[in-house]
Structure formats: structure tokens, C-alpha cells
Amino acid sequence: MKKLIVVLGGLLALQLVLAVTVNLTSDNYEAFKPQEKLLAFDRNAVDGLRIEADKHSVVLNKRDGKWVLPQSADFPANTASVDRLLDTLAGLQKGWPVATTAAAANHFKVADDNFERRLSLLSNGKPLAVLYVGTSPGYRKVHVRADGTDAVFAVAFNTWEANASADDWIDKAILTFAPDDIERVDMPGFALQRDGDKLQVADISAAESTDAKAAGTLLDKIADLHIQSLLGTEAKPEFRQDKPELEFKVTRKNGDVLDYRLSKPKEGAYYVLKRSDLDDYFKVAEYTVKPLKESGREKLVQNKPEKTPDKAAAGENTTTTAAVKTAGAAK
């Protein structure tokens, strides 16, 4: 009997030890609510965003309702992309934590000094919320940790939506406008002039007509010219802007005249573009420039078809001729 009591006492002691051990080493999930917001911040108060990666960082500021890049002389940012990221961050929910220890934060690369991305949401230069983005456990999933907490969560998020390069945030449609806003285009060897709702080849002869479809295609490509990245505001010799491969002029309906100069740099499969109304030099893809270089008057003009005799008139003439011949034979 005494032996049985000793055995039972030992088992009870072992259970107590195990319970204490589990309590000390396991994650405490009771404090977490699955539907609780991951970041607590006022979406409307955010006027700054700082994104940091391993060796890169970018800052975006909101001014007069639009986002700009102060590191790039306040060049306009893609406001829609910034707003989309902020909406995503505001909608993140905690779910159940993956881990809650400092060692785990380092393992999942969401530690203070070991992370894939650190996103700081700012208001008047002060952080409203900071999020660490780390490793990916699967497709469109990443491990994250909010600053000031130990809990690591796996949430739906695309890391590429928070790149730390200025070129990933610039407004690449900065040069675009509506095709209907173009009044005239002066290209090498020809010009297109608006005539009512259409652009016609200037100085066209009476025997020629403008190919409306070809003219419209050229107009669309000019009006929808996108940039790839910024090359700064300094004219560099390697840009070879002194030896342009294409120059043309666009006159808008408001009277503004825009001069375009495109050159091929010494190295790189792209073109350097300078437009007269902006200080910046832009990197432009080759495939967007190629159709502009290959445009010509011969592709926009077609000869009018020769007029054929009217069938009714031709039939009348035939009848008249036959009648005359019959009358002559009768005589």
C-alpha cells in the first residue's frame, strides 16, 4: 500500500512538472482575438510612408492630397498604388499567432534588426504604426509582426507591393494625356493636323486621303507614352541627347507645345527621353519607341480610288447610241 502511494505521488509530481513546463514554453493564445486588427492606426491621419529593406529605403509624403517622392525632388508617386497598400495594411487581421518569442521573430525575419521589410506609417513625421514583414510560408502569404508586440502572424500579403525602390512608386503615366487633347503632331517628314474630330496629314493632295486607323494608332501611342524609371535632372554625356534618334513636337488644344527628344544611350536596351515641360530625364522601353521611329507619311496616306463611270449614266449613253444607230439604218 505504501509503495502504491509513493508511485502515485511520483506520477502527480511529474504531471505538475509537465504542466509548469508547458505553461512556461508554449504560446499564450488566449489574449488574441482572431478578428482583431493587426495595426491600430487612423487611415486618414497617414501622410507619410517609409519602406525599408536590406540596403534600400524609400519615403513617400502626401501633399495637397497627392503622394510624392521627396528623395526624387518631389516627383509624383502613383497615388493609387500607395492608397492600395494603405488599405491593405488597414485591413490586416491578426488571426492566430504563429509564435510569440523573440527567437521566433528572428527566425521568421520580423525582428527589429532582421527583417525583409519594415513599413512605417507616419503622421507629421511621427510613426503611427510600424509593421515588420518577413519570410513567406506560402503563396501570397507572409509572416508579420507589429512593432511593440511579440506575436508573429501569417497574413495574406504580397511583398512586392511594398518594394523599397523609388522607381517602383513613381507615376509612370506622368507623360500621358487624352488623344483628343492633341491638336497637331509634327514628326520627321510629315505632320498630322486636327480637322474636326480627326487628325489629317497636313499638305495632303486632292488625290490622297489620310488612313484614319493608322493615324489614330500613332496618336494613341504618343498620348499613352509611359516611362520605366527616372534618370535624374542632370544631362549626362552617356545619354547622347546631342545625337537624338527621334525628335517630334506635340501641340495640345490649350496651345502648349511639347518637344520630345529620344536618344539611345551608350549602354542599355532602352531610350532616354527628355520632354520640354519637365526637368527630368526618363528611361523608356524600346518597344514603345520602335513604332514611333518607324512611322512615316507613306504609312498614313493612301491614294483615293479612281472614279468609275456611273452605271446609270453608262446605261443611258448605251441606249442613246443604239437609238442613233437604228435611226441611221432606217434612213
Domain-located, residue 33: no
Domain-located, residue 244: yes
Residue 279 shares a structural domain with residue 216: yes
Residue 154 shares a structural domain with residue 226: no
Spatial separation of the C-alpha atoms in residues 331 and 321, rounded to whole Å:
16
Residue 158 shares a structural domain with residue 188: no
* 284, 227 contact by CB (below 8 A): yes
Residue 117 shares a structural domain with residue 187: no
Residue 288 shares a structural domain with residue 220: yes
Residue 184 shares a structural domain with residue 293: yes
DSSP letters spanning 239-306: G-TTS-SEEEEEEETTS-EEEEEEE--SSSSEEEEEETT-S-EEEEEHHHHHHHHT--HHHHEEEPPP
Residue 104 shares a structural domain with residue 81: yes
Domain-located, residue 326: no
- Block residue for cell numbers 527630368: 280
What's 294's domain CATH number? 2.60.40
Residue 146 shares a structural domain with residue 106: yes
Residue 163 shares a structural domain with residue 190: no
pLDDT at 145: 98
Question: Which structural domain, as residue segments, surrounds residue 73?
Answer: 43-168
Question: Where does a domain end: 120, 136, 168?
Answer: 168
Domain-located, residue 220: yes
Q: How many residues does the chain have?
A: 331
Residue 69 shares a structural domain with residue 103: yes
312: helix, strand or coil? helix
Residue 133 shares a structural domain with residue 197: no
Spatial separation of the C-alpha atoms in residues 277 and 239, rounded to whole Å:
18
pLDDT in tens, the chain (331 residues): 455 454 445 544 545 434 333 333 344 444 445 568 999 999 999 999 999 998 899 999 999 999 999 999 999 999 999 999 999 999 999 999 999 998 999 999 999 999 999 999 999 999 999 999 999 999 889 999 999 999 999 999 999 999 999 999 999 999 999 999 999 999 999 999 998 888 899 988 989 999 999 999 999 999 999 999 999 999 999 999 999 999 999 999 999 999 999 999 999 999 999 999 999 999 999 999 999 999 999 999 998 887 666 554 445 554 444 444 444 444 4
Domain-located, residue 240: yes
Residue 187 shares a structural domain with residue 89: no
Number of domains in the chain: 2
Domain-located, residue 12: no
165: helix, strand or coil? coil
